[in-house]
Each structure stands twice: as structure tokens, then as C-alpha cells.
Amino acid sequence: MEAAIITGAADGIGLATARLFAARGWRVALLDVRAEAVEAHAAALGVEHLGVRCDVACEADVLAAIEAVAARFGRIDALVNNAGIGTPHIPTLEQGLEGFEQALRVHLSGTFLMSREAGRAMLAQGGGAIVNLSSIAGVTGLPRRNAYGAAKAGVISMTRSMACEWAGKGVRVNAVAPGFTATSLVQKLERDGSIDIKRLRGRIPMGRLARPEEIAETIVFLCLPAASYVTGAVLSVDGGWAAFGDAGLAQEAGV
């Protein structure tokens, strides 16, 4: 039975992805800094699943988590690098270095560490799939989101590099770039006044935020044999956000 690791699996896209993998018959390791949450979610999915506390920006945590998963499942067939943190939407001149570097550590260093160690296991067993979570912030310019955008753009570059390095060895590496998604993180940004959901809907050609389950479907697809010739790709799952370049509201474009 195939085994998947999902980071940032305590809620949102990560949890939706874990649930979808489990529904498709995979064994799932849910990783997050919130140990109680992922342990509870794993138990709810069934006894064959595993919840592990892991700070992806901490090398010792990553090594321990990979060891625990390998010991439990004996293999790693898929890794989903979903763990991330929100960053405040503030002008560049007001941004501090500490917050900037923290975003890079979690999103970029965390993706590197998890990919390196899971990739090591996948190469040894002869194959596997890695899906990294980028963002519309990594493919377009979002003002006041320097650290987040830089980290997510870096994830895309690293995805392509690893994909080319491992393509002939059975390990595929792809990225998904979601748009605004109805998660607790986005809800917090709205409460903080960082985003205006009504205005966002007007900017999205499909006129709504994504559901976590919709992003999860794309992630799981990239890990399946159906995507066996897909590597180094960056798939936008954003309701048309990155495609829209006209002036005014996106919904008015077809009127």
C-alpha cells in the first residue's frame, strides 16, 4: 500500500489532502507543529495512519519525522510540502528582517529539507512523487508580500531543479500554485484587515475562493500514475487569477 507524507496537515489544504489520500487507499503521515491536532486527525482517518509533530524548518525534526514514517510504513511514495505561515501585508519600508527570514525558513528551507530527506528514500526505493505548494504570490507580483512571494517563487525554482535532477531516477517533482483558498489562514488575514474577500472575488475570473478540497484533488492527481509523464510543472489552481490581465473586475471581462 502506498504511503504519503503531508506537511502542514493540521487543517486547510494539508488536511483536505490527507483525507483525500486516505480515501483513495493510501497510508498517510500527517505532519505539523500542532502535534495534538495531527494525531487526532490521523486517529480519525484510521489506525493505519500516523500523526507526527514536525517543524519543517528544523533539520532535527525533519530527520526524526522521516525516520518515524519510514519505520512505520517502510516506504515513502509521495510527499506534499504544504506547511507554511502567513505574513503580514505591510509596506516594504515597515518590514523587518526577522519576519522576512522566518517566512523563508518555513516555506523555502522547510520544502528543501523535507524534499531532500523524502527524496533520499524515494531514490533508494526507485521512485516517488513530490508536490510543492507554491502560490499566486510566486508567479505574480503581490505588493507588500515580499517574503511570502520570494519564498513561493523560490519553491518553483527548486521544484524545477529537483525535477530535472531526479527525472531519470523515477522521482517526479511538481508544484501547485493555488489562488486564495477558503482556509483558516485566509480567514485570519481577513480578520486582521490584510485582505478584503469581496474585492478578491471581483478579481478572480471564477468569482469565488477555492475550496481546500479542490486544491487537494490537483495535488493527489500529480502523485498518481495518471501524471506519470508530468515533472517540473507548475500548475496554477487559482480560478483564473494568474491568467487575467485586463483592467477592471474579472467578471466583467466576458460581458
Assess contact for 53 and 32: CB atoms under 8 A: yes
Q: Tell me, yes or no, whether 59 lies in a domain.
A: yes
Q: Are 220 and 24 in contact (CB under 8 A)?
A: yes
Q: Is the dihedral of CA 29, 30, 32, 34 positive or negative?
A: negative
Place of cell 523563508: 104
Q: How many residues does the chain have?
A: 255
In a domain, 108, yes or no: yes
Structural domain contains residue 193: no
Instruction: Determine, yes or no, domain membership for 205.
Output: no
Nine cell digits for residue 149: 512571494
Residue 119: count of CB within 10 angstroms of its CB = 20
- Domain contains 144: yes
Q: CA-to-CA distance for 57 and 102, rounded, in angstroms?
A: 9
Pairing relationship of beta strands 27-32 and 50-53 according to DSSP bridges: parallel
Active site residues: 148
pLDDT in tens, the chain (255 residues): 899 999 999 999 999 999 999 999 999 999 999 999 999 999 999 999 999 999 999 999 999 999 999 999 999 999 999 999 988 889 999 999 999 999 999 999 999 999 999 999 999 999 999 999 999 999 999 898 999 999 999 999 999 999 999 999 999 999 999 998 988 777 777 777 777 888 888 889 999 999 999 999 999 999 999 999 999 999 999 999 999 988 878 876 655
The number of distinct structural domains making up the chain is 1
Q: CATH code at 75?
A: 3.40.50.720
Domain that holds residue 26: 3-180+214-237
pLDDT of the residue at 253: 64
Beta bridge partners of 210: 181
| Within a domain: 204 | no
